[in-house]
Amino acid sequence: MTWSEMQPLLEQACWDTLYMVGWSTLIAVVGGLPLGVLLVLTDRGGLLQNVVANKVIGQVVNVARSMPFIILMVALMGFTRSITGTTIGREAAIVPLAIGAIPFFARLVETAVREVDGGLVEAVQSMGGNTWTIVGKVLVPEALPSLIASTTTTIVALIGYSAMAGTVGAGGLGDIAIRYGYQRFETQLMWITVAILAVVISLIQFAGDFTARSLHRRGGRSGPAPKLRLLKASTADTKTV
């Protein structure tokens, strides 16, 4: 296969991969962020302590995380068809990709939020801040560098999942590698797809790490005292409203 034949295939495959991963990441963040925060809030000693709810949510997340992605795709075929009207193509692949990524991201969010300094939480509580003020003004902003890193990890994982989804006709670079590189013995094309995936992952990892480090340095320079003054002002504004 010549480069002129490979180029349009690779361009479309790259777009399909980015499309699947982009939408899946958005859904995973929207679904996983509140789920991860809820795991922290409902834990023992949490602001919304509820051991039963925490155990139930935790078990659901653990079961979903432990399921191999290829099995998850097959298990969700009926659900995927009911939403998208098909079980093949990039739109259909977004469903299992997103569902598989939500619990994965939720656990990363849980870990990130647990790293927030408890002193800041206690300070806002002493100022009269309620649970949602603490979540919006302390937990999420303070955990933001770690949340960016967690999002980066999730994107990289989804790129790998999207390549796996290519084995069942989801499209993207994985589909090209299987259909042409493996089944038609186009070894050159297969290695090109591997190289493209490696470059894309490296760029995403670099961008995520750079953003997380920048946010961490910016937060570190502000120090605890200015943070508490800002939080006090924010809490006062919330009370006024």
Give pLDDT tens digits for 163-201.
888 777 777 888 888 778 777 777 888 888 889 989 999
Q: What CATH number should be reported for the domain holding residue 154?
A: 1.10.3720.10
Could you give the C-alpha distances from 15 to 9, 12, 18, 59, in angstroms and in order? 10, 5, 5, 36
Which pLDDT score, from 0 to 100, does residue 231 have?
53
* Region class of 43: left (phi > 0), else alpha (psi between -120 and 50), else beta: beta
Give pLDDT tens digits for 11-31.
988 999 999 999 999 999 999
Phi then psi for 155, rounded to 5 degrees?
A: -60, -45
The residue range of the domain holding 176 is 3-240
Could you give the C-alpha distances from 136 to 14, 34, 140, in angstroms and in order? 36, 11, 6
Give pLDDT tens digits for 134-156.
898 889 999 999 999 999 999 99
Which pLDDT score, from 0 to 100, does residue 234 have?
54
111-134 mean pLDDT: 86
Q: Is 83 helix (H, G, I), strand (E, B) or coil?
A: helix
pTM assigned to the model? 0.85
Which pLDDT score, from 0 to 100, does residue 172 have?
85
Count of domains forming the chain: 1
16: Cβ–Cβ under 8 A, 6 or more apart, which residues?
90, 171, 172, 173, 175
